[in-house]
Amino acid sequence: MPVEGPALSLTLAVALDMLLGDPLWLPHPVRWMGKAILWAEPRFRALPFGPMVTGSLMAASLVIFAWIASTVIVRASISVHPACGVLVQALMLFTCISARDLADAAMAVGKTLERSGLAAGRRTVSMIVGREVDNLDERGVSRATVETVAENLVDGFVSPLFFAVIGGAPLAMAYKMINTLDSMVGYKNDRYLYFGRVSARMDDVVNFIPARLAVPFIALTARWLNGRGKETLQVAFRDGRCHASPNAGYPEAAFAGALRIWMGGANDYHGKRVDKPVIGKGLGDARPNHILQACRLMLATSVLVFVAAAMIILFFEFG
């Protein structure tokens, strides 16, 4: 590994995430990344090239900067004291993962549905999904929440740990910059169709392996939680490609098999009806109780992924 103490740093990061989530009072590098993107966009657009070239230059520059800056900070902290290096890397990794925050946000939807009714549930789920929610019934709100939990297991936990294993905290931070770029400019609309295309493609590439690696971990966890490991794998292999995203369908299909519910279908985005393929066709409708089940599945899978990542790191450290 390129830095010292990665296993301890990873352990501290996951522990902090499970204990604290994403407290608003804590300065967060992802917010700084968002500000950097907002600052960089008009300046790169002003360059005398087409939007595809300027968008590509911006994406590459910001990702490289995130990796270099993180590497410099890590090296400087290690030079002060190895314990300081461990702590700095742990804090970096902590900001890259979001299992607890994802669970809290999803559980808030379930609790709101139960205590305050459908209208309040729609308002709550609108904070974590991109689709229009005004016409969603209870099943639609529940399905949207479970889909978000499944998809963000990869973005918010599996992928950051995957890159932490390969290149420590700096590479995880570079991944987070790619993920932030995709969320801000990776849209297929008039403004970003060309300018954001490379950012979107980069996100597809870096999540390709983690999205597929997540499936056996979800299946193992489902086998332990409810005995549905085989169903999880069957639906994941059958329907994993039934999604507009090359990656999101795999964790969603795995969750569909584990929870025995269908996902996808028609939804409204920005006033337009989008007909997505159905994942888990023939399975049951999502209900509010499936939100709790999805969160348990996501958190338990995250722990299993962490154990595997820590073992790999320790193997290379001491093997």
Angle at 308 between CA 302 and CA 310, to 5 degrees: 100
What token pair was written down for 53? 């070239």
State how far Cα 283 lies from the chain centre. Answer: 25
Can you give the pLDDT at residue 5?
66
Domain boundary assignment for the chain: 6-318
Can you give the pLDDT at residue 99?
96
- Distance between CA atoms of 30 and 27, rounded to whole angstroms? 9
- Distance between CA atoms of 156 and 140, rounded to whole angstroms? 23
Largest CA distance in the chain: 59
Residue closest to 255 by CA, chosen among 147, 173, 177 = 147
C-beta of residue 6 within 8 angstroms of C-beta of residue 89: yes
What's the whole-model pTM score? 0.94
Residue 27: CB atoms within 10 A of its CB come to: 8
- Distance between CA atoms of 310 and 313, rounded to whole angstroms? 5
pLDDT tens for each residue of the chain, 319 residues long: 444 468 999 999 999 999 998 877 777 888 999 999 999 999 999 999 999 999 999 999 999 999 999 999 999 999 999 999 999 999 999 999 999 999 999 999 999 999 999 999 999 999 999 888 888 999 999 999 999 999 999 999 999 999 999 999 999 999 999 999 999 999 888 899 999 999 999 999 999 999 999 999 999 999 999 999 999 999 999 999 988 889 999 999 999 999 999 999 888 777 778 788 999 999 999 999 999 999 999 999 999 999 999 999 998 877 6
Give CA separation, 315 vs 13, 159, 182, 310, 319, in Å.
Answer: 19, 20, 33, 9, 5
Alpha helices in the chain (DSSP H): 6-20, 29-45, 51-80, 82-96, 99-116, 118-125, 138-153, 159-185, 197-226, 229-239, 249-259, 288-318
Buried b (16+ CB within 10 A) or exposed e, 38-69: eebbeebeeeeeebeebbbebbeebbeebbee
- Distance between CA atoms of 156 and 178, rounded to whole angstroms? 13
DSSP tag of 49: S
DSSP tag of 2: -
What token pair was written down for 17? 């995430």
What token pair was written down for 200? 């979107």
Can you give the pLDDT at residue 1?
40
Strand partners, 273: 268
- Distance between CA atoms of 52 and 38, rounded to whole angstroms? 17
Strand partners, 278: 264
Secondary structure (3-state) at 277: strand
Give CA separation, 198 vs 55, 178, 186, in Å.
Answer: 7, 10, 8
